[in-house]
Amino acid sequence: MTETPLPIVLVVAVALIDVDGRVLIAKRPEGKKLAGLWEFPGGKVEPGERPEAALIRELREELGIEVSESCLAPFVFASHAYDSFHLLMPLYLCRRWDGVVTAREHAGLAWVRPEKLSDYPMPPADEPLVAWLRDLL
């Protein structure tokens, strides 16, 4: 069987972890794909951009925080076929940042214990990531 190849889209995302071990998730705003679902902050890597630089840029734009590259620890990744593209999404862990986390582009933010993440509706690609966080954090 021949499959029509889907474009691969590289998205970088992060699980920010606070001193109490809670993880930050953010609610996708109205008007965007998957609106209303909770996600890990991050976004698309632009052409020619390094993944870590893209994530640092996205965290500045979306949350108003400054993260240094040495604080981004590669963790697990999602590989998920949506209808029109194939998502490849590395998830980093980060426990240190400067500034106050603010919802600049999201409809809301929540700090959630790993075992409670499954109470929040998230995109299908995120389900395995939530399981890894629950098991390994």
Ligand X SMILES: Nc1nc2c([nH]c(=O)n2[C@@H]2O[C@H](COP(=O)(O)OP(=O)(O)OP(=O)(O)O)[C@@H](O)[C@H]2O)c(=O)[nH]1
Residue with CB nearest ligand X? 43
90 makes contact with ligand X (CB under 6 A):
no
**Considering only residues 13, 15, 67, 93, which one is a binding residue for ligand X as defined by CB under 6 A?**
13
Nearest distance from C-beta of residue 134 to Mg ion, angstroms = 23
**Considering only residues 22, 43, 97, 134, which one is a binding residue for ligand X as defined by CB under 6 A?**
43
126 makes contact with ligand X (CB under 6 A):
yes
DSSP string, the chain: ---PPPPEEEEEEEEEB-TTS-EEEEEPPTTSTTTT-EE-SEEEPPTT--HHHHHHHHHHHHH--B--GGG-EEEEEEEEE-SS-EEEEEEEEE---BS----SSSSEEEEE-GGGGGGS---GGGHHHHHHHHHH-
**Considering only residues 17, 27, 42, 117, which one is a binding residue for ligand X as defined by CB under 6 A?**
42
107 makes contact with ligand X (CB under 6 A):
no
43 makes contact with Mg ion (CB under 5 A):
yes
Piece of 15-23, 42-50, 69-77, 109-117 that binds ligand X (CB under 6 A): 42-50
Q: Check if the beta carbon of residue 23 is closer than 8 Å to that of residue 15.
A: yes
Q: Which of 59, 56, 60 lies closest to 40, judged by CA?
A: 59
* Residues lying near Mg ion in the complex (CB under 5 A): 43
* Residues lying near ligand X in the complex (CB under 6 A): 11, 13, 32-34, 39-40, 42-44, 58, 87, 123, 125-126
